[in-house]
Every structure is written in structure tokens, then in C-alpha cells.
Amino acid sequence: MGAEMVPVEHVLVLAGLLFVIGLFGLMLRRNIIFMLMALEVMLNSAALAFIAAGARWGQADGQVIFMFILAIAAAEVSVGLGLVLQMRRQLQSLDMNDAVRLRG
């Protein structure tokens, strides 16, 4: 592709928007699957920001960090979904308002 005239700052703005949307979804939804999805959105937006930064400076570091974020997301999702299974088994529901035993 070479040197392109792509507005990197706009990509960062997009990343910010996506992050905020993800946060909104995290606060709004009560179902845990959707909360996990919102987390994925937020992670993805951070990855986007890194790629944009790496492209702007022309270094490989951005993509390397992106790969690490990918590894993190993968590990987190697998364990998180395992927990979802357990939650379904113990509480018979996936509503976060039912999982409040860790209170006080």
C-alpha cells in the first residue's frame, strides 16, 4: 500500500467512539453474554487505536501489541465463557442482578 493519505486522527476518534459504545453496552445490558460482547468491543477499539498509532509512526510495534491484545482477548473469553456455563448451572439464570452473593 505504501504511504497513504489516511486521516489517522479520525481513526483514533473512531476508536474512541467504539470504546464509548462498548462501555455504554457494558453498563446497559444485564445479560452476561452481552456484557462479554461489550468487553470484546472495547478491547477491539483499543486494538484499533494501537494499529493506527503503529501506522502513523511506521513501526511494527502497533501490530505486535495488537497481537498481544488478541491473545488476552482469547484467554479472557474462554475463561469468561466457562464462568458463564458455571453461572448458568448454579444460578439457572444469566442475569447479572442475580449474581450478587459477593455483597456487604
Partner 1 sequence: MTLTLFLFYLAAGIALLSTVLALTRANAAHALIFLIVSLLAIAVLFFFLGAPFAAALEIVIYAGAIMVLFVFVVMMLNLSEGSREQERAMLDFSNWWLPGLLTAVLLVELLYVLTAIESETSVRAVMPKEVGLSLFGPYVLGVELASMLLLAGLVGAYHLGHRFLQRDRGRRD
Partner 2 sequence: MEILLTAVPMLPLASAAALLLYGRHMGQSLVTGLGVGSIGLAALTVLAIALQWQNATGPVTVLLWQWFSVGNFSVDLALRLDQLSLIWLCTITGIGFLIHLYSSEYMGKDDNYSRYFAYLNLFVAAMLLLVLGDSLLLLFLGWEGVGLCSYLLIGFWYGDSANGAAARKAFVVTRAGDAAMALGLFLLVAEFNTLNIQEVILAASTSWKAGDPLATLACLLIFAGAVGKSAQLPLQTWLPDAMAGPTPVSALIHAATMVTAGIYLVARLNGLFVLAPDVLFAIAAVGVATALMAACAALAQHDIKRILAYSTISQLGYMFLALGIQAWDAGVFHMMTHAFFKALLFLAAGAVIECLHHEQDIRKMGGLRTHLPVPFWSFLIGSAALAALPATAGFASKDLILLRAWEVAGSGVWLWSVAAIAAMITALYSFKLVFVVFFGELKTEATHQPGWRMALPLTLLCGLSIVGGWISLPLAEVLPLAANDPAHGTIAIVSAAIPIVGVALAYFIFLGGQVNTTGLTQSPAGRWTAEYWLQGWGMDRLYDRLLVQPYASLAQWWRGEPMDRVVALLTGSAVAIHEQLSVSQSGRLGRYVAVLSAGLIVMLTLMLVRANS
**Partner touching 59 among partner 1, partner 2, none, CB below 5 to 8 Å by kind:** partner 1
Q: Which of residues 21-50 bind partner 2 (CB under 8 A)?
A: 23, 26-27, 30, 35
Q: Does position 12 bind partner 1 by CB under 8 A?
A: yes
Q: How many CB atoms are closer than 10 A to CB 103?
A: 4
Q: Does position 93 bind partner 1 by CB under 8 A?
A: no
Cα–Cα distance for residue pair 98/104, rounded to 1 Å: 15
Q: Does position 1 bind partner 2 by CB under 8 A?
A: no
Cα–Cα distance for residue pair 25/96, rounded to 1 Å: 14
Rounded least distance, CB 102 to partner 1, Å: 17
Residue pair 55/62 in contact by the 8 Å Cβ criterion: yes
